[in-house]
Structure 1
């Protein structure tokens, strides 16, 4: 990329001169789509980001939300941070380092708020395994995430994995992080006072990652894997672990006035944004930056995206102590300048290379006014395969099959907080601090707050209908939380799309944003932050509009009903029975098209009622019905110890494979309590009961489907089988 003529003209007018080479490169990166959201920002106002629990909303490195006080239920003095980011292009060029540094970046966003990272999720989107290249990308990405997350000691507790042909040339890697902090430790990215020093702490600066922000703002070229490799950062998780612990000491001792992690556009991006948020400027000496490569020039020092680095604003009297803490953890520390009341000014060996207004640099990019075509409504053309063949194909599809091959590579128990582990509808982690219990083991008698976490998207849904599919993603994530007894608290999104300059692509992206915003508002879930990744286009074409949502909710205590069936108890299906198959894995396997199913009329009421039912003492198991429809949910519930005997009415294909959001299976010894909880909210139907033989029997139409737990496990091990 290079600075667009219209941008250069605007910058030249503002400066009253031609920009220097360093200024032009800095503007190119900070005014890129990746940093300035020039095509998406006009749409983001649709999201409601306010609520009494919201401490800091969009605009900082991560959002901050207050957890409810266990006694009063009102927002308390224990906070969590929420952040999400994409590392899509880097993960195509170098899957291991691209994905690994995505983890590192979102963890440092957490650190910059004064929080300690306690949980990660990863939502991954790839092309089918019919070709070798998607397999190579998939294995590299999973290895990169596990290597980095495991090494820094932050558990990866959830996420999603989806396959779709349109990701073959451009996979997506979306990583979210949750952090924890008491209210009195909160730090922001708003510079506080002229005269304070700017201190760079962490790894030495090299030439890796140069131009990463601009690289992420253009379509992937056919030769990207070789030509764009220098734009991919190289991570060092062991240095990140040291940085995590050093940051903990710095925050605990009150040594930090403000902080920003070095991500997109490197030092130039972090330091200019820090002072711009405070309406201030800076004087920076670039040669003062500690470097690992000889003879780096001003532009390289300014824009390198070398990892594991933080920029801190520090009061002059605290600089020596900050340097001592950095030395204790074997980290470099450089006093690179100070906060001023003037321009953002960088010098190199006595020469001024940047002298601009920081707010103009950070917020002066003009927004794009792009044409959008409304997505087409699909016709109804349905296949008619054998029902047994359909069941086996859908249950064994990589999209609906077990993701154990992925999450078993992650350390999801480090930190001794994970109560509900990966593989369930949502993870649950213990927040003992909210009840003043300290960092003790999960077996403590006293109960704190359980923080439930769900993250994911649904490309089949949004490819079929971007708006309705995005609405369903919000309802789906909220349902996942409620199935474990939690009520939603807040969410962050990662909005992935293709080239916005194409009207059909921008139309689909716009519709997805609108649908997601409306559904979160209906659920009363504030969207407190997020990330936008556009230009996910390659020689194979654009990706489908792919909104990923990471949502958290809270409950009293850490226990939750399991996903797995019990040998006893009635099996109830709660929710409307959809009669449309749009967006389903069934159509993806066998061809055809249909409109997307209708969503619940009262999604907030459904979620609230489900959370109450999940915590009812008679509830034995709960499981969301979504991807793959009822067929997959039933198959996932069966174990060697517990089977299910089920009878379904209506059209067999719709009964088994429709994927309308806002449905759940509840196994209980008190069906009347469930009916009472959902009275006026959603229909409740008894569809079967538990058995003690580990067999799934489904009577649907004129077909009897019978599979034992071992047979289901074998069919659902598709991903592992493909990769072994």
Structure 2
């Protein structure tokens, strides 16, 4: 093993060893200037992780400033472990989404499991009890063994961690496209519940106060994970050593211990050791408090022998927290961890000098100005250039694809992995842990009851990356609008969102343009729909073999139901209920599932969206739900009206549909026009519903014959048994994975 203590600072400079750690020549020169000397090996490593994109957001920071982050419900916006939103009665929800893409490409089981563990710690470090977990996943097409393995193992990893830790995985989304073949996306979201006065922050305040390490021992796993996640993952590299290994059994104990510790007034600050481990948590806590930190690494619990300062400071071993505690009251805190069988140790103190000082074996291993690692990290304003394909797509004439047999096309659409049932995945998750799940996986939005009240929260994750690829700004608007539509359909009022921004290499001007324009679109939609951004994560360099993924900014949104009586199902409920389509259907097939089936690629214009129209429709539908006149509500997305009608009777109630369409049947059935909802109401509420909702047209009635019948001027377009369609939809993914087949 390399002895880093024998590598002299002069050698690091002469042999450009800093490049292996991820620093550019200019960044190394900047680090020297900040230090006013040559940094040693450990210090160089610390700079490299803290100045990585993953920790510093050095290329995305100028764009993130565009997001609206304030609102009447927002108690804590971006800048802490997670965002905090008021839900009344002195209660708040804490939530955030985070990616674990690069680790999941290399070790999908461990990568996805630690993704769940890491985002859980972000939430309970804020003092919140985790009450729900969601995920948003992207994989290549399910036609090769490698993609099948990545998908299967990632789902298994999410389930293995979430099920042990007893936080319900209540929903999510999975989409499949060849652009993710070498670079899958694994984004995990967690929501927690906290009382206002229990909200914690990651602050190293109070000179002389003690720094306490709690959780799993530090090992050599995950070293340089932050820089690994800020680089392009190429298939032939062995990056397994950069993937940390999680232990949900320790994680479960750590949650319980931390949620007890927050009630002690001896606690000053607490933060998760996430990306860059002990380095980022300690330096960020000092930075936010305007202090310094001194730590003795001999006191850090270690599970491997002879670890040097570089390894300890850059390790991303899981299930670890850093706390700052009032001097003289350390034992109170240590006793709580001991009670929960969690290792904890005092490892340092808060100092007045604004420096990040690390000692090991009686010697100073690193001594860096705190500001140099945090607020003075380099920020880049990268060049942006409109993607070459964009103008061609905008100039392309709108056409309606030729579909000869609409019934066969519906069957084909229902078997597309992006549309097909994801039950194979979510059946592996415990969605009912804690016994508060009202609507779980398979609903437009998950709904979780707030214990001890009649309130509930709705949660969703959404993003159609095809639209964003075609038109980043329009697609960014649609991503937010679709998330809000799902929340509205559940009966909840959208409160705020968290974003997982997944893109390719930002130094490519066209990729940076995709980032810039989609963030513009997201920001505009947030303002129009009153859903501020309260937290998030950026994951760049998602590409392999020179090809970037499609731009994929995931929107995780939370809404509030003032009463569980407002909970609205997404499936039809009763025969004889009237079926309404809200919104206009236009000739919009760019980025659609129909285009994917017919052409195998995406081109042309993305569907258009008018945010004022969107806001009005959402408000009106929510009003109708609150007046108790909506029986079911479902938003129209991939596959258009035909798929939405089919999905609405896939709840084994023996119900069917009798609907009438107008105009071109292909457009009526399969267009993906925006701002549309499929709603059922009782006959006696017809007039009242039509009075509240503009642009609502009755298109049919729910039947009891179990048939999906769509006609046009007495001509049958679709006439199929709903259960047969359901079987195709439900079995598509297991068949592609060959589950249960020899």
Counterpart-to-counterpart distance in 1, 2:666 and 2:386: 30
Residue 222 of structure 2 corresponds to which residue in structure 1?
Answer: 209
Residue number among 127, 133, 140 corresponding to 1:127 in the alignment: 140
Residue 572 of structure 1 corresponds to which residue in structure 2?
Answer: 580
Please say which of residues 112-121 and 313-322 is displaced more in the overlay.
Answer: 313-322
Q: Deviations over 1:476-526 (max 9, x none)?
A: 110111111111111100100001111121111221111111111110111
Q: In the alignment, does 2:508 pair up with 1:498?
A: no
**1:155, 1:410 within 8 Å by CA — same for their partners in 2?**
yes
Residue 20 of structure 1 corresponds to which residue in structure 2?
Answer: 40
Residue number among 181, 184, 202 corresponding to 1:189 in the alignment: 202
Q: In the alignment, does 2:693 pair up with 1:674?
A: no
Counterpart-to-counterpart distance in 1, 2:693 and 2:366: 62
Q: In the alignment, does 2:659 pair up with 1:646?
A: yes
**2:114, 2:246 within 8 Å by CA — same for their partners in 1?**
yes
Counterpart-to-counterpart distance in 2, 1:620 and 1:320: 56
Gaps of 5+ in 2: 1-19
Gaps of 5+ in 1: 70-75, 438-446
- 1:706 is displaced (CA, Å) by 1.4
The two structures, once aligned, show a CA RMSD in angstroms of 1.4
Q: In the alignment, does 2:79 pair up with 1:59?
A: yes
SS in 2 for 1:650: coil
**1:191, 1:280 within 8 Å by CA — same for their partners in 2?**
yes
Counterpart-to-counterpart distance in 2, 1:596 and 1:643: 32
Residue 350 of structure 1 corresponds to which residue in structure 2?
Answer: 362
- 1:153 is displaced (CA, Å) by 0.5
Residue 9 of structure 2 corresponds to which residue in structure 1?
Answer: none
Q: Deviations over 1:550-575 (max 9, x none)?
A: 11111122242222212121100011
Residue 469 of structure 1 corresponds to which residue in structure 2?
Answer: 475
Residue 617 of structure 2 corresponds to which residue in structure 1?
Answer: 606
- 1:66 is displaced (CA, Å) by 0.9
1:261-280 equivalence runs, <5 A: 261-280=272-291
- 1:383 is displaced (CA, Å) by 3.5
SS in 2 for 1:252: coil
Counterpart-to-counterpart distance in 2, 1:593 and 1:269: 42
Q: Deviations over 1:127-149 (max 9, x none)?
A: 00111111000000000000000
Q: In the alignment, does 2:714 pair up with 1:707?
A: no
- 1:703 is displaced (CA, Å) by 4.8
Residue number among 584, 589, 592 corresponding to 1:581 in the alignment: 589
Counterpart-to-counterpart distance in 2, 1:107 and 1:613: 36
Q: Deviations over 1:450-493 (max 9, x none)?
A: 11111121122222222111211111110111111111111100
Counterpart-to-counterpart distance in 1, 2:497 and 2:588: 28
Q: In the alignment, does 2:678 pair up with 1:665?
A: yes
Residue 559 of structure 2 corresponds to which residue in structure 1?
Answer: 553
Please say which of residues 449-458 and 387-396 is displaced more in the overlay.
Answer: 387-396
**1:640, 1:693 within 8 Å by CA — same for their partners in 2?**
no
Residue number among 443, 447, 454 corresponding to 1:428 in the alignment: 447
**1:580, 1:594 within 8 Å by CA — same for their partners in 2?**
no
Counterpart-to-counterpart distance in 2, 1:627 and 1:255: 52
Counterpart-to-counterpart distance in 2, 1:183 and 1:520: 25
Residue 544 of structure 1 corresponds to which residue in structure 2?
Answer: 550
Residue 442 of structure 1 corresponds to which residue in structure 2?
Answer: none
Q: In the alignment, does 2:104 pair up with 1:91?
A: yes
- 1:382 is displaced (CA, Å) by 5.1
- 1:318 is displaced (CA, Å) by 2.2
> Which runs of 4 or more aligned residues in structure 1 lie more than 4 Å from their structure 2 counterparts after TM superposition?
700-703
- 1:540 is displaced (CA, Å) by 6.2
1:35-114 equivalence runs, <5 A: 35-67=55-87, 69=88, 76-114=89-127
Q: In the alignment, does 2:506 pair up with 1:486?
A: no
**1:164, 1:459 within 8 Å by CA — same for their partners in 2?**
no
CA pair 364-700 structure 1, distance change in 2 beyond 3 A? farther
Residue number among 357, 363, 385 corresponding to 2:403 in the alignment: 385
1:437-448 equivalence runs, <5 A: 437=452, 448=454
**1:154, 1:414 within 8 Å by CA — same for their partners in 2?**
yes
Residue number among 608, 627, 632 corresponding to 2:643 in the alignment: 632
Q: Deviations over 1:393-446 (max 9, x none)?
A: 2121111111111111111111111111211111111114xxxx3xxxxxxxxx
Q: In the alignment, does 2:533 pair up with 1:523?
A: no
Counterpart-to-counterpart distance in 1, 2:576 and 2:407: 27
Q: Deviations over 1:637-677 (max 9, x none)?
A: 11442111011112222211122332111110222222222
Residue 697 of structure 2 corresponds to which residue in structure 1?
Answer: 685
Residue 450 of structure 1 corresponds to which residue in structure 2?
Answer: 456
SS in 2 for 1:317: coil
When the two structures are superposed, what TM-score results if normalisation uses the length of structure 1?
A: 0.95
Residue number among 591, 595, 599 corresponding to 2:605 in the alignment: 595
Residue 256 of structure 2 corresponds to which residue in structure 1?
Answer: 245
- 1:95 is displaced (CA, Å) by 0.3
**1:474, 1:520 within 8 Å by CA — same for their partners in 2?**
yes
**2:401, 2:666 within 8 Å by CA — same for their partners in 1?**
no
- 1:384 is displaced (CA, Å) by 1.5
**1:34, 1:213 within 8 Å by CA — same for their partners in 2?**
yes
1:116-265 equivalence runs, <5 A: 116-224=129-237, 227-265=238-276
SS in 1 for 2:78: coil
Residue number among 388, 410, 414 corresponding to 2:433 in the alignment: 414
- 1:254 is displaced (CA, Å) by 3.3
Please say which of residues 684-693 and 612-621 is displaced more in the overlay.
Answer: 612-621
Counterpart-to-counterpart distance in 1, 2:688 and 2:367: 68
SS in 1 for 2:434: coil
- 1:615 is displaced (CA, Å) by 3.4
Residue 441 of structure 1 corresponds to which residue in structure 2?
Answer: none
Counterpart-to-counterpart distance in 1, 2:441 and 2:299: 45
**2:419, 2:638 within 8 Å by CA — same for their partners in 1?**
yes
Counterpart-to-counterpart distance in 2, 1:21 and 1:242: 35
Counterpart-to-counterpart distance in 1, 2:234 and 2:140: 17
Counterpart-to-counterpart distance in 1, 2:607 and 2:465: 15
Counterpart-to-counterpart distance in 2, 1:65 and 1:693: 45
1:252-401 equivalence runs, <5 A: 252-342=263-353, 343-375=355-387, 376-377=390-391, 378=393, 379-380=396-397, 383-386=401-404, 387-401=406-420
Counterpart-to-counterpart distance in 2, 1:452 and 1:431: 11
**1:395, 1:631 within 8 Å by CA — same for their partners in 2?**
no
Counterpart-to-counterpart distance in 1, 2:106 and 2:29: 33
